[in-house]
Structures are given as C-alpha cells and as structure tokens.
Chains A and B, each alone.
Chain A
Amino acid sequence: MRCRTADRLMSLQLDHALGVEELARLSRHLEQCARCRAHWASMQRANRLLQQAPWLEVPAGLPAKVLQRLPADRRAVVPAEPVWARASLVVMAAVALLLVALAGVGVLSGVAPGQSDWLLAQQGGRSVIVAVWESVILVLTALAQVGRAVWQGLRWPWAPILALVVGGAAYLWRWLWRRSSPV
C-alpha cells in the first residue's frame, strides 16, 4: 500500500467507516512505515482533541434578541449591502489610481527630447497633456461607475478578475499609446 492510500484510510478509520479487509491492509502498512505511524499518532491526537472539545454556553437572551429583529412581514427583510460591494469600490479606486499612474508614465515616457513641442502644442488654449489627462479622468470615472454597477450584479470572485482585466487593458492602452506617439 502506498502512503497516500494509507493516509486516506486513516481518516475513514477515525469515522469507523473502514471494512475489515481495508483495516487489515492499513495496519500492515503502519507496521512497516514509521512515517505513517507517526502521522497516524498525531491524527489520533487531533481526533481526541476534537472529540473532547466542549459545547459553549449561549449568551443569555438570544431568543429575545432575535424576536426584536424579526420583521413584522416575513418578506420585508432587505439584505444589507455586502462588504465586497463596498470593498469593490476600494479596488476600483486602486485600479483607477494605477490607471492614472500608468497614463502618467505613458505620457511622460512619450516625451522624447525634441518632441516636447508637439506635446505642449496649444489646442484651444490647453496643452495636449492637460487634454489627455482630463479625458483619462473622464474615462476612469465612467469605468468606475460601470465597474461598480457590474460588480453589484456579480458575485465576489469576479471582482479581482475584473480588476485584472481592467488593469491589463490599461497596460495595453499605454503600450499602444507609446507606439503611436511620435517618438
């Protein structure tokens, strides 16, 4: 018997769910394998600890407290906004900051010596940098709103995935920006 099999059988044995034959195979393996013997000993110790673990007293007045919180109409309970919905806002802010930083890096690294004239060229009284910056902020705000709306409709595992996707898109965008900028 392999140690992995023995390991699985040990757990079943603790639940008395092992047949006679399997039990015999397990004991034979334990006789031969010192490592499994040691592991079996600590599994048994853990098992005893669990069996001896006490039940705790309930704080007084729990039924009364529940009664107080019961809605008059059984359908009138509105679930509270989950924490992850609020957390997603923080993630969104972090992603937005990252995007802004990336955009900043993109803009700055796009400035090659001698090219600053182009970037600082006046466009209706504003430099290109300011215009780009403002549009970035605008896009980010929109993204944050959409992201939050989407997240509220999705379950939590999607939050980090979406964050990654948005982050990746920002990176790609920066890369394209650099390639297309006249350096």
Chain B
Amino acid sequence: MDPVEEEQIWILRSLQGDQQAFAQLVSRYQRQVYNLAYRMLGNAEDAEDAAQEAFLRAYVALSTFQLGRKFSSWLLAIASNLCVDLLRRRRYAWMSLEDISFRLASPAEEPARDVLRQEQAGQIQHLLSRLPEKYRLVLILRYWYDLSYEEIATTTGLTLNTVKTRLHRARNMLARALEEEERQCAVEPLTG
C-alpha cells in the first residue's frame, strides 16, 4: 500500500478512536516533530515533552484535519505553535520565584565558551538559541524540513513576504552571531 493511502487509513481509524492507528502516525512522524521541538527549545528533555504534547494536541484536533492535505504540514504547524507558546511562557516564567532562585543558583552564562569547543552540532544549536523564536522557526522549517517559502507560509500562517523578510533577518542575525563568536574564539588564546 502506498504510504499516503496508508496514512489516510490511519487518520480515519484514529478519528474513530483507534489509538493503535494513531500510534502508527506517531511512529512515522516522531522524528520530524521531535527534531523541530529540539531545535526550537534547545534541549532533549523539553523536546520530548513538547513532542508528546504536540501529538496529544493533534489527536484532540484530528477532526479539524482536512483529508487530502499534507498531514506532515498540519502536524508541523501544531508543533511550531506549541514550541513558540512554550518559549513565550519560558520568557514569562522569570516572574515565578522558584525560577529566580534556580537562575541565581546556576551560572547560566558560563557554558557559552564550552559550547564553542563542542562539535558543530552544538555550535549551530547555540547560535539558533540566540535568535528570537519567530526567526528561529523559519530557519528550522527552511533548513531541516526543506520547506519552500509557500510551505513555510502555510505552516506558520504568515504571508509570503513576511516569510522572506524573516528568513533574511534570521540569516543576518545568525551571520552576525557567527562573526561575533569567531572574534571571541580568535582572542581566546590571548585571554587564556
């Protein structure tokens, strides 16, 4: 059976409450959803939680999915929205006291230099984490998922021009961040 047909059957069965069929969908798309969450949130633990949550949301909202459309795009849109939400909450979480004491206890800025010494995978994650989430998202969709401008626009609900502008700004920021880190690397031997 061809994969698209198989997928439609899984979706229809899930809609009837067949959870095993939904588990098949999860198996097929877990890599995409998990990687999006990892690149957005920056660590494995949050990424796994977010991936689970995204699938749960997809299950609940499955009746709004229009059969015949691309399931992966629909799922990525849910996951993207979730990650952006989570990052916003993270930004507002500083207001809770436990979080403040946690931040005081851990030297948060220290690991920046260690990351530089790590392999490139760590470097790109570190650079990504310096971008605001809306710019991070378009870069991830463009590079990891190889989506076209149009597909990014549908996934994020942005206009085509906004997608282009965001990609352009995101790349600019990334290039500047890279230059900055290279400068820091260059002076490192002098400062010890």
Contact = CB atoms under 8 A, between A and B. Distances in A.
Given A11-B168, A74-B59, A87 B92 contact: yes
Interface residues of chain B: helix, strand, loop or mixed (majority): helix
Contact of A84 (B19, B89, B123): B89
B56 to A, nearest CB: 6
Given A45-B178, A50-B124, A87 B35 contact: no
Contact of B59 (A43, A52, A65, A70): A70
A69 B178 CA distance: 41
Interface string B27-65: 100110011001000001000100110011001101100
A58 B31 contact: yes
Contacts of A67: 19-20, 22-23, 26
B142 interface: yes
Contacts of B20: 67
A66 B23 contact: yes
Contacts of A56: 34-35, 38, 44
Contacts of B97: 90
A8 B62 CA distance: 39
A14 B142 CA distance: 11
A53 B171 contact: no
A83 B88 CA distance: 10
B19 A70 contact: yes
A63 B56 contact: no
A22 interface: no
B34 A49 contact: no
Contacts of A7: 168, 172
A84 B95 CA distance: 9
A162 interface: no
A84 B124 contact: no
12 contacts: A11-B168, A11-B172, A17-B149, A42-B178, A43-B175, A50-B143, A64-B23, A66-B26, A67-B22, A74-B60, A84-B89, A90-B96
Interface of A: 7-8, 10-12, 14-15, 17, 39, 42-43, 45-47, 49-56, 58-59, 62-67, 69-71, 74-75, 77, 82-84, 86-87, 90-91, 156, 159
